[in-house]
Amino acid sequence: MHKPYFPKKEGHPLPLRAEFRRRVRFEEVDPLGIVWHGRYPSYFEDARTALGDKYCIGYNILYQHGVVTPIRQFHIDYFASLRFDQEFVIEGIQHYSESARINTEYVIRDSYGKITTRGYTVQMFLDLEGNIQIDFPDFFAAFAERWKRDKL
């Protein structure tokens, strides 16, 4: 059993979820036909983008509100290889946080539903001048409040 990256805390709402389906492209594999390990960050990005689009908190919206969210931590656990032309699903799972950060977990499953890869990122908030934001920006604080009330 996998230990949770972001354990559930009492009073926190359920995580937000989005999936992105795709197929391994030729350019993503090594000479053995196995996905090169350095491709997984872009797979995680696909799920992060799907979450942002689904819940209207994507990169462009953040930028329009004067913030950017660079990655502060990145972690991957590999369990099985993906191969050329294989279909797979990347699930992005955003976990609620009281702190000014975005905690996102990722699960990649092959076409049979077997977990091949798990991981997480932690993003921080910066203003457009690069200053760390210790509180949520107003629009994201309002989003988090709707999330807590299950109004998304």
Query: CA 32 to CA 84: how far, in whole Å?
Result: 9
pLDDT of residue 1: 66
- Residues 10-20 have pLDDT tens digits of 999 999 999 99
- Residues 82-94 have pLDDT tens digits of 999 999 999 999 9
Domain of 53, in residue numbers: 16-148
Tokens representing 70 are 């660079």
CB 104 within 8 A of CB 51: yes
Strand partners, 94: 16, 104
Tokens representing 8 are 């559930």
Distances (CA, A) of 128 to 45, 49, 58, 60: 21, 20, 16, 13
pLDDT of residue 2: 81
Tokens representing 1 are 């059993």
Asked if residue 143 belongs to a domain, the reply is yes
In 56-102, alpha helices (H): 59-64
Asked if residue 9 belongs to a domain, the reply is no
pLDDT of residue 3: 87
Check residue 3 and report its DSSP letter.
Answer: P
pLDDT of residue 148: 95
- Residues 93-130 have pLDDT tens digits of 999 999 999 999 999 999 999 999 999 999 999 999 99
Asked if residue 8 belongs to a domain, the reply is no
**For residue 75, what is the domain's CATH number?**
3.10.129.10
Total of domains in the chain: 1
Asked if residue 1 belongs to a domain, the reply is no
Query: CA 134 to CA 126: how far, in whole Å?
Result: 9
